[in-house]
Structure 1
Amino acid sequence: MSRADTFRALHHRRAPGDPLVLPGPWDAASARACVEAGFPALATPSAGVAASLGYEDGETPADEMFAAVARIVRAVDVPVSADLEGGYGLAPRELVERLLETGAVGCNLEDSADGVLKDPHEHAAWLAEVRAAAGDRLFVNARVDTFVRGVTDPDQAVLRARLYVAAGADCVYPIGAPADVLPLLRAGIEGPVNVFARLDGEGPSPTALGELGATRVTFGPGLQRRAVRALRDIAAGLAK
């Protein structure tokens, strides 16, 4: 079984309340720490990687993002999925080949750009080209940005999700979806659903999110930001 197949299998036949929990390493050292903690796979956050490289989220040059992903992949022996934002303007085949060169087995791809939602049908057609180029070599997680762009109607998220699944997405990610609408999303979406979890105790736990319908749970740049806060506290103590 290929590493991509291993990663894909982790998303299926999961019991309610037992979602796949994927921490978000931002460099090789954090990736190793996550694997040592026992996680079977990893999912890089674009914002966390950007911060580690000195960029704002969304401003990392493609070459630097691919290089960062490659370093993370080389550092661990578990499958790694990479957040590739909107694809950096690359044609689907080039995007796929460049990601495969890093050794990653999956990717997140957003359906908005510059704060504006893309046409869902055009985006679905683009995702279909990504799937055609990737075959079964990559696990494609299609991010649905309706909630973070101010569209609160769950039906709009379901519509986009269905189009993306039909285009070949392995999983959909309605980022920012309120916990109370997750059962509606779960009922309307075929296949795995990725849900964002907070690390500050303000939202449901991964187990609770699984019970509400999440297949997999990710944390965005949450781990990286918490690590920076801890480092800031340590540094402040040393500076006294």
Structure 2
Amino acid sequence: MPDQWVKFKKLKALHEGDGAFVIPNPWDAGSARLLASLGFEALATTSAGHAFSKGRRDSCLGRAEVLENAAEIVEATDLPVSADLEDGFGPEPETCAETIRLACDIGLVGGSIEDATGDGAAPIHDLSQAVERVQAAAEAARGLPFLLTARAENFLWGRPDLDDTIRRLQAFSAAGAHVLYAPGLPDIAAIRTVCAAVDKPVNVVMGLAGPTYSVAELAQAGVRRVSVGGSFARAALGGLMRAAQEVKSAGTFTYAAEALSGATIAGLMSGEKRREPG
């Protein structure tokens, strides 16, 4: 398996290249292997997709569970893997820093910290605390093969304030973040405005609600990285529901014509047998 520093340098170089690259979001080792087989150059975990696979809502899993899942994805391919580290798994800056150190320890070469609190009454951290959290995460990543993404969550939490979002991203950049991310921006004009206002590579997520744009359109707007969040997981679950509904309502099995063959899947999965303890 490639050295962690090699993976880190590859991920960093992707952000420094021309145009935009897509970093898709597997939710487990198997989906990671499928995506790697298609020629993607890096992967990023999805907290939503992982939670759905556990029968939970997004942001309902603890740090140990999230990192265990991320470690399995890291082991499944030779690609660089960045992780959705949610809110850092605690409000305190040192908690965010410890999350970064633990993430790097399992082979991740990147990860994101968001400024959402998880509290519906006060969904976004005050700017000063949000910056302290990013700064602590950046200090923890210093000298390590780890690319830190800072997320401004206003638009996902009913606060469609573009000026404040930009102010936060600029402050996160100054605090040491390597990549900036504001999920839920309403349109290409807002995306272009954000990209022009900051001095670090910008990630944009596609596949959520709202308008979608091609990679070429996003690159023209200044985007450097495009992720899909939990939308691939939701697409897979949509396929499952349609197949099950066909069987339940019609008693037919035509869905199988679009399913991957067992041979195709077997060729992409590991043949290593899991060792039993003892």
Bin of the TM-score, shorter chain as denominator length: over 0.9
State the TM-score, normalized to the length of structure 2. Answer: 0.80
**Number of aligned residues:** 237
Q: Distance in 2 between matches of 1:130 and 1:201?
A: 31
Which residue of 238, 246, 270 corresponds with 1:237?
246
How big is the shift at 1:79? 0.3
1:122 alignment partner in structure 2: 129
Correspondences of 1:69-218 after superposition (within 5 Å): 69-89=70-90, 91-114=95-118, 115=120, 116-135=123-142, 136-178=144-186, 179-198=188-207, 202-218=211-227
How big is the shift at 1:149? 2.3
Which residue of 6, 11, 17 corresponds with 1:2?
6
Q: Distance in 2 between matches of 1:41 and 1:128?
A: 25
CA contact (8 A) 2:96 2:113 kept: no
Structure with greater contact order relative to length (CA < 8 Å, sep ≥ 6): 1
Alignment-mate amino acid for residue 129 of structure 1: A
Higher mean C-alpha displacement, 153-162 vs 77-86:
153-162
Alignment-mate amino acid for residue 14 of structure 1: D
Alignment-mate amino acid for residue 7 of structure 2: R
CA displacement 1:71-107 (0-9 Å, x = unmatched): 1110000000010100112624421221122211111
* CA-based RMSD: 1.7
State the TM-score, normalized to the length of structure 1. Answer: 0.93
Q: Which of structures 1 and 2 has the bigger CA Rg?
A: 2
CA contact (8 A) 1:121 1:163 kept: no
Q: Does 1:35 align with 2:36?
A: yes
- Structure 2 gaps of 5+ residues are 252-278
Percent identity between the aligned chains? 34
